[in-house]
Amino acid sequence: MSRSTFALKFKETVGTSPMEYLTRWRMLLAGDRLVNASDPISVIALSLGYESESAFSTAFKRVMGCSPRQYSRGRSSVSTPRSEVEIVRDQLESVAG
């Protein structure tokens, strides 16, 4: 399957482009780690493929609506809903399958 065919099928199935989906998935993972782990933001950023904490923070704020620090403080007693993560995972499986 060509990349363009894959991208079209993906968008038709999931409702967003593969890159937007990947970025959202990475931010959900980051949000979960910000709330449930004690890793510094720089470690989380590097583990998710960002070359700098600054680039990660910019992407996180664009997708999640607040900075990573605000997210970890504001959500310290509430983790990312599993249902949202499961929905994203199911969408990816439907495209891959």
Residue whose C-alpha is closest to residue 26's, from 62, 1, 76: 62
Q: Which domain holds residue 41?
A: 15-96
Is residue 86 in a domain? yes
* Cα separation, 45 vs 27, whole angstroms: 10
| Entry field: residues in the chain | 97
Is residue 36 in a domain? yes
CATH number at residue 55: 1.10.10.60
Rounded mean pLDDT, 8-13 = 93
The total domain count for the chain is 1
Nearest 5 degrees, angle CA 51-CA 55-CA 56?
85
Is residue 6 in a domain? no
Convert the pLDDT of each residue in 48-90 to its tens digit.
Answer: 999 999 999 999 999 999 999 999 887 544 445 555 666 666 6
